[in-house]
Structures are given as C-alpha cells and as structure tokens.
Structure 1
Amino acid sequence: MDDRELADLLEQFGLSEKVVDTYLTLLELGEAKASQIADAAGVSKRYVYSVSKELESRGFVEVNDHVVPTTIRPLPPMEVIESLSESVESMRPALEERYTATARDQERFEVIKSRVTVLKRIGELVGRAESEITLSLPYDVLDEVEDELRAARERGVLVSLVVSGVEPHDDLALDGVASLVRVWHELMPTMLTVDSRTGLISPGEMVARSNSESQAIVFAQPHLGPVIVGSFFGNYWPMAAEAYTTDPDPLPAMYHNFRHAVLQAALCERAGIDLDVTVSGRMVHTDGPTELHGRVVDIRQGLLEPANNSFPVENAFVVETDEGTYSIGGQGAFVEDFEADAVEFTAAE
C-alpha cells in the first residue's frame, strides 16, 4: 500500500488531508519535538501543537508535555488499530437500532460476462443454501461445483439437479451429489435457484464453452425465484431422464420445505413404507384446524418417476384423518384443502 492509499484510508476516519500528512511525517520521525515535525511536514509549530492534541484524543499519539521542550510520540500501530476498531464497533448498536431494511439486496441483478465467474457464483450461492437448490448445468462442468453441492446435501438441503449434454449411462458419478438427478442429452440453459430467493440464469453455451460471448444474470429477487423454479420443474425436469434418487430419510423426520416433504413421501411409497403424518398450517378455503394428524393415503408429484401430478408443478399429498380426508399443499396452496408450514412423518404402525 503506498502513502496515498494509506492517507485515503485514514481520511475515512475523519482526519483532514493536512492532519494525515502531519501524522505520517511523525510516524517516520518517531518521537520528535514540535519544531522537528513542523520542519519535516512543512507546517507551523503552532499547527503541530494543535494537531497533536487532536491526534492524542483520537488515540494516535502521546504528547509528552511534562518535559521541556514538549515531544510527541506516535503510539504503536497495533494500539491505534485497536482504538479505531473499538470506535467502529461502538457504533454498531446505534446503527442497527436505526437501520431499516429496504431490501435493496433483494432487488439486485448482476451481469456476468465470464464463464469462470459464472461457475464461481454458482459455488458461492450453493454454499449459502439453507433449504432448497434447483440447478441445471452441463455434466462436463459438474466437478467445478460438486464439492459445494455435496456440502449442501450434508446440511440437509434438498438438491434437484439436471445435468445436460450427456446421454444417461451407468458410469455417471452422481451418487450423493444431489437428492435427485436427471439427465438430458440436449444442452439446456444453466439455471440455479437457492431457497427460491436468489439464483443465476445463463445460456447453456456460456458454461459449456470458454469462448462464448453470452452473458449471465445473477439475481436476488424473491418474486423472480419461484418463477424460475416453476420453469425448471415445469419445462425442463419432465424432459430429462431420472438418473439418481436418494434414499428415504430415517423416521421420524420433520420438514419445513414442502417439496422436500413430498419427495420423502414418494420415496417412502416407492420403498413400501406407510406413513403417518402431522401437518401444521391452515385451511385454504374454510375455517378449520391448524394441525392435522392422519395417514398419508395418496401422493401427487412430478419429482420421481412415474409422475402422477395433474399439472407440471403440482406436488401434494392426501391425509386421511378421523375428521375427514384433506389434500395438503405447500406455501401459497390454492388447489389443495390445507396449506402446510411444517410436516412431520413417522412410520405407520
């Protein structure tokens, strides 16, 4: 870092350019008399006395006015940094108290022109996932983000993956990289969503080739995320061939992501495991209970083959309770009887 860069940083702490220049001169001199500092900095001795008091109050120097003549000693840099850090940290409670989240980041878009940056952003976004990831990308670059995907799975994130540009065959290394993997021989757009809030969209050739002139978009837009998820499951997922599915989770199991719950119900059905369920949420069309207990008697989904949903993005299950039979949907459900916030499965007795 050169002197100008250092001076610019110091000025950010409220010091004027002239004060900074005087302080940097003192750092080079070490402990010195005011007259020596004045000569070296090209300022008056009176100014040095004035500045030294300000710098002393800010924790930058020590003024030894008990000796004649008075000397000024710069404090060790570590002490200065600690003092500045404490000053900055002391502002945090007041700033947080006054901060109003305007969701600016939620409206952010970033244009990317580099293939390397696209793959880097995918890795970064996958690393932040808490609940669900949908991703399509060429199989040839899967290894670029494989570690991040496996780590997401270890955190319990639902990962639905389509790898494109390759024919389905037995030696694809897919075990554990996602919850569900489908394969499509055609090259398709690279599409990523993380927790239905953030994501990335890129033409397929931009990731597949290093010399593409295409551009990608990273978005942080909670209203756009569900649209991309719907396109992923409605337009591309049904076209691809099922290549890998995870095993059912150990029971009992709790889910706050409804698509994850439907997947587990379908995996248990495939494995011949009957399920009892407790669902928390609300009735959609009428007043009624906020919690249902019963047996899962039907599943409508398009996550696993064979799909049996009545429209591409339908994922639901039906619960038979002592009070009646109810269809269960996730957040925003409008076709089903009950909108679920949380689902807990246990093995049926």
Structure 2
Amino acid sequence: MDADELVETLEDAGLSPYQADAFVTLLELGSASATDIAQASSVPDPRIYDVLRGLEDQGYIETYEQDSLHARAHDPAEVLADLRSRADRFETAAGEIEDRWSQPDIEEHKVSIVKRLDTVLARADELIREASNQVQIGLTPGQFADLSDALATARENGVDVKVCLFPELGTEPTLPPTDALARACTEARYRDLPSPFLALIDRSWTCFSPHGNSTNEYGMIVNDRTHAYVFHWYFLTCLWEVHETIYSARRDEPPITYVDLRQCLRDVEPLLEQGVTIEATVVGYDTETGREVTKRGTITDVAYAGVSASDERVMPLSQLAGKAAITLENGEERTTVGGWGAMLEDLEAVRITIESLE
C-alpha cells in the first residue's frame, strides 16, 4: 500500500484529510518540528498546530517542546488495535448487511426483495396456513408437493384455493393425483408453459419469483393490496382463464360460494335474464367505514363496463376488466356490491354465497 492509499484508509477510519496526511508524513520522518511536518505534507502552516493536537488527542502522536513544537508518532499498539477493531466491525457489518438483504425482516417491510426461491416458498407456506378467505397460486408439481400441507390446512379452514400447475423448464410434468388435489385446493388448472412462481393470499400478500430460466434468481414478498390486485389480473389472464380444468370441487347447486365477484356476475347474469330469483349472502367491507358487514337479499341486477355479447356462451373476462357490480335488495335497502378494490359501490365483497335459485 503506498502513502496515498494509506492516507485514504486513515480517512475512512475517521481522520480528517489533513490529520491523515500529517500522520503518514510523521511516520516517514520519525519525529520532526511542526514546521517541517507542514512543509513535508499538504497541511497549511496556520493549520499544522491544530492538526497535531487533534492527532495527539486521538492517541496517534505525542508532542513535545524543543525550541518549538515537535511531534513524534505514538507507540502504534493502541492505534493498530483500534484500526483492527474497526476492520472487524466493518467485516461484521458487511456480513449483517448481506444476511439482511438476503432475508429481511418481513414484519417490518411492505416490500421485501430476497435472493432465494426457498425464502419465497417458506414465507408463502406461512401465509397460506394463516389465510382466511382465498389463495391463488401458480407453481410446478414439485412446488405443489412442498406446499401441499399448507394448502390442505387452508382448505380445512374454509379457504377458497385456486391452483394453476405448470411444468418446470426442460421436464415432463407429473401431475399430482386427484386425491392430492382434492385435499389441497378447490379447483386446479394446468398451463403447459413454464411460468414464475406466484401466490396471492387474502388480496393482500404477494409472493413471487421468476422461473428457473430467469437471468437472476430473486424473489419478492409484498404486503400491499394494489400490488396484489395487479398480480391477480396476471393470474386470471395468464394462469387461469384459458387453461384446462384438471380438478374442481365447485358445486352446481346451491349453496354456491364465490370469492371473485366477477365470476359470480358471469354466472348469475344469464339466470337473471331467465327470470330466476337468486337469494344470496354477501360478506364484505363497507367502502365508507371499512367495517366488515354481512348482507342478505335477492340479486336483482348486474352492471359492468363492457358490452354483453348475446352469442357468447360465457361472458369474456375482458368485458369485466372495468367496473363490475351486482345489486342486492332485501325489501328494506338496496346495496350495490363491488369486487376487489371497490370504491363506487356500497360494499366490497370478499365472499358471495348463492343460497337458493327459484
């Protein structure tokens, strides 16, 4: 290490530029007068005395009078111990930073970027077990095996679980048997293209990691409803809507439960056109107060931004990309019910149960 590098290192250790330069100069001179140190270094003459006193206060040098102020480097043992202690702290800090970046404290962050897929899967496992209403998840058969116990726990707790399975890169998929799907999900579909891992839990949490062919391995764990809503539409359009159903436990007769208002709207619109009376219970949140409420009544109308095409057997999802709502009446009040992120309606539905069709 040359003198300039040593000066820069001492600056990093806490010395001022003048102090670092004066100390390195004094190491080379052994002992010298303040005037000689100033002339041999970059320290201006008027500043040399303050600089030397500062170094003495910090234990780097000692000064003495000999016709004029002189200085010599102090026994370096204490200085070396301090520098080595600083080096150890820097090394420890570097390791701590790496650990925190790799797996940050989830509870203290809205957005966590992690380095390993295993971290994402572990957090998804925890969140799925704690879910109260719905889980949407896209994963490989191997990842399904890893998370099947967590998904089964969610199902036992009455959570609606949608699973999209897709192959790993370069492998032929072996799909789980029907009994494994029945234990772990409400409905499962299969996409024949590799895709990123994605889990959406209760409209709030997103766990995401690119597929194995991605340039960098990383993951995101986000606790944010808006972020989750964007990925919800990715799930619907890329992982769900157009793919083959390989398992379903959904009922065709009441009671029929929905956690997605748009799916409910697609199913009830043709029934309303046929004059069917639809009795329903809606659990959701008042859009003004945020309080959880339960409403019961008759579905009397649907509204959405798209234009219905009478020749379509099933309303395209694109027709429901904007406003989508149903109207619930019980003789005493009329309630408009929206879906995820509802703002214009009276209620944001999280679960709709069709109790009877007459």
Structure 1 match to 2:76: none
For residue 162 of structure 1, the aligned residue among 150, 164, 170 is 164
Structure 2 match to 1:293: 297
**Counterpart-to-counterpart distance in 1, 2:193 and 2:157:** 31
Offset at residue 202 of structure 1 (A): 0.6
- Gap runs ≥5 in structure 2: 1-105, 289-293, 305-312
Query: What per-residue deviation string (whole Å, max 9, x for no partner) do you get for residues 247-302 of structure 1?
Result: 3399668x7x84279559949x99xx973124477699xxxxx96721467698xx
Letter in 2 for 1:259: D
**Counterpart-to-counterpart distance in 1, 2:225 and 2:108:** 10
Amino-acid identity (%):
20
Offset at residue 244 of structure 1 (A): 1.9
Query: Secondary structure, in 3 states, of the residue corresponding to 2:185?
Result: coil
Contact 2:261 2:339 in 1 (8 A): no
**Counterpart-to-counterpart distance in 1, 2:281 and 2:177:** 40
Letter in 2 for 1:346: E
Structure 2 match to 1:179: 186
Is 1:329 the counterpart of 2:329? The answer is no
Structure 1 match to 2:354: 345
Query: In the comparison of the two structures, how many residue pairs are matched?
Result: 229
Offset at residue 148 of structure 1 (A): 0.9
Contact 1:105 1:220 in 2 (8 A): no
Structure 1 match to 2:280: 277
Offset at residue 221 of structure 1 (A): 3.0
Query: Secondary structure, in 3 states, of the residue corresponding to 2:184?
Result: coil
- TM (norm. structure 1) is 0.50
Bigger radius of gyration among the two: 2
Structure 2 match to 1:83: none
Is 1:137 the counterpart of 2:139? The answer is yes
Flag the 1:183–1:252 CA change in 2: closer, same or farther, 3 A. closer
Offset at residue 314 of structure 1 (A): 7.3
Structure 1 match to 2:221: 218
Contact 1:292 1:321 in 2 (8 A): yes
Letter in 1 for 2:200: T
Query: What per-residue deviation string (whole Å, max 9, x for no partner) do you get for residues 227-259 of structure 1?
Result: 222222233323432222223399668x7x842
**Counterpart-to-counterpart distance in 2, 1:180 and 1:128:** 19
Is 1:235 the counterpart of 2:238? The answer is yes
Flag the 1:164–1:251 CA change in 2: closer, same or farther, 3 A. same
**Counterpart-to-counterpart distance in 2, 1:229 and 1:195:** 11
Offset at residue 111 of structure 1 (A): 0.6
For residue 123 of structure 1, the aligned residue among 116, 122, 125 is 125
> Residues 1-349 of structure 1: matches in 2 within 5 Å?
105=108, 107-113=110-116, 115-165=117-167, 173-205=180-212, 214-248=217-251, 258-259=259-260, 262=263, 266=267, 275-279=278-282, 293-295=297-299, 306=314, 308-309=316-317, 310-312=319-321, 316-317=325-326, 328-333=337-342, 339-340=348-349, 343-349=352-358
Offset at residue 167 of structure 1 (A): 7.0
Letter in 2 for 1:330: G
Flag the 1:314–1:145 CA change in 2: closer, same or farther, 3 A. farther
Contact 2:134 2:201 in 1 (8 A): yes
**Counterpart-to-counterpart distance in 1, 2:154 and 2:324:** 23
